[in-house]
Amino acid sequence: MPQKTVLFDLVHNEMLNIDDGEFSEFLNLLKRMDLKIKKTENEHLKKNMLSDVDLLIIGNPIDDYFSSLEVKLIIDFVRIGGGLLILSEYGADSLQKTNLNDICGKFGITFDKNIIKEINQANQNCSSILHIKDFLKHQITRHIREITIGGACSLILSKNSRPIFRIDKLIYCQFPQHH
């Protein structure tokens, strides 16, 4: 079986930069999975960059927008079978000043303009750190025991999109509209 290739987009001011030390554990996991790691560092996405890629990761861009050509390239990449992992933070496109919903919205998923907080039964406080331990049966979650997420927003699902986990005891905090 040929080695799978993961491409990290790093030219849109992403918070998830695989070169940062805080992501070393994630990078080590990918290497243990025998994945080839590539990065876009000096130029925006082009069709030839995606030609031998199995998974494109966009890790929470901030104050940067994907061009209409990049949006089309990414959508076409996914439609012909490429994998896409998009991360966004609380407040989504509006607060982060990006246009990820232009991409993932084409597949029935949009990031909502809020922050979700988990209710902590022990002390009746809320935390923006979410601890997910209950997953629906799915290939993606087959070997996952727990996910910890900080500063997340909710997703709006439509079309044929289905969740792989849900959290029941949450508070949704909306951000005010900017005019």
- Regarding whether 76 and 30 lie in a shared domain, the answer is yes
CATH number at residue 72: 3.40.50.880
Residue 6 shares a structural domain with residue 54: yes
Tens place of pLDDT per residue across the chain (179 aa)? 788 999 999 999 998 888 888 888 888 888 888 999 999 988 899 999 999 999 999 999 999 999 999 999 999 999 999 999 998 888 888 889 999 999 999 999 999 888 877 766 655 566 666 667 777 777 777 777 777 777 777 788 886 777 666 665 555 455 555 54
User: Does one domain contain both 115 and 81?
Assistant: no
Same domain, 62 and 124: no
Whole-prediction pTM: 0.82
Q: Which domain holds residue 60?
A: 1-87
| φ, ψ for residue 84, nearest 5 deg | -140, 125
The b-or-e profile of 46-57 (16+ CB within 10 A means b, else e) is eeebbeebbebb
Tokens of 73: 């390239």
Q: Of how many residues is the chain composed?
A: 179
Give CA separation, 54 vs 5, 51, 90, 159, in Å: 5, 9, 27, 24
